[in-house]
Amino acid sequence: MVVSVVILFAGSGCNLFGFLSSPSAFEKTIKPEFELKSHQAQKVYVWVEPTPSSRIDVKTADLLAQSVGIQLNKKAGIWKNNIIVGSSLEGQKDMLIRPEALAEKAGAGLVLYIQVESFETINHHSNKIYSGRLASRAALLDVKTGQVLWPANINGLETDIAIEMMAQGEDAMVSRLCAAASHCIVRNFYACRKTEYRVDEERSRLNEMIQQDVY
């Protein structure tokens, strides 16, 4: 019996160990579009612009910025001290101010600019059951040159997040919208596990993800 086992391993060892060492579906990752961690020498300024037409309030815009900052640290591996989260109140004081100027003032070399295009919450019953939507565009800019480092699309990365129904109240629903939107932005800056790449709340980029075999 022992001899048979030895022969079995000797005869098929390469294939067996090759199988054991091959990455599982859980371990497979999607290559980052821009590896932000390699730019740790520069601080990143997170700026969310609450455009008037979007109908997003300052509190929610700041919550989105904070959520992006947290995920840059926890998921993309950016040092916490290298992440500066700006307040959208700064933009309200001067509507013409550029995010690069705010970032430079804060001592950052990069600015992750997120423009909210649409935001809405709908109360369906007794201030408990809500649905909502958050659509935005994001781009990473070099503060000194103003060059767009990411994405390749000059119009920025489109993110469209929606929740059809949630029974935990408006605050919980809005937090979930911001967390999902943050994930869809930050996942492009690190090797995201294939099983975690897509989130249920995501509406946009479906065709692109099918082509990338991540849906």
What is the C-alpha to C-alpha distance for residues 79 and 73, in angstroms, rounded to an integer? 6
Peptide bond into 50 cis (omega under 30): no
pLDDT band at residue 50 using 50, 70 and 90 as cut-offs: confident
DSSP state for residue 154 in the 8-state scheme: T
**In one letter, which amino acid is 44?**
V
What is the C-alpha to C-alpha distance for residues 119 and 63, in angstroms, rounded to an integer? 13
What's the CA dihedral at 51, 56, 57, 61 to 10 degrees? -80
What is the C-alpha to C-alpha distance for residues 87 and 208, in angstroms, rounded to an integer? 32
pLDDT band at residue 97 using 50, 70 and 90 as cut-offs: confident
Model pLDDT for residues 142-154, shown as the tens digit of each residue: 999 999 999 999 8
Model pLDDT for residues 17-33, shown as the tens digit of each residue: 454 455 565 679 999 99
pLDDT band at residue 87 using 50, 70 and 90 as cut-offs: confident
Q: What angle do CA 193, 135, 153 make, to 5 degrees?
A: 70
What is the average pLDDT score of the chain?
A: 85
Q: How far is CA 204 from CA 32, 133, 208, in A?
A: 18, 12, 9
What is the C-alpha to C-alpha distance for residues 168 and 6, in angstroms, rounded to an integer? 59
**Residue 123 backbone dihedrals phi, psi, to 5 degrees:** -90, 120
Q: Which domains does the chain have, with CATH numbers?
A: 27-211 (3.40.50)
What is the C-alpha to C-alpha distance for residues 164 and 114, in angstroms, rounded to an integer? 23
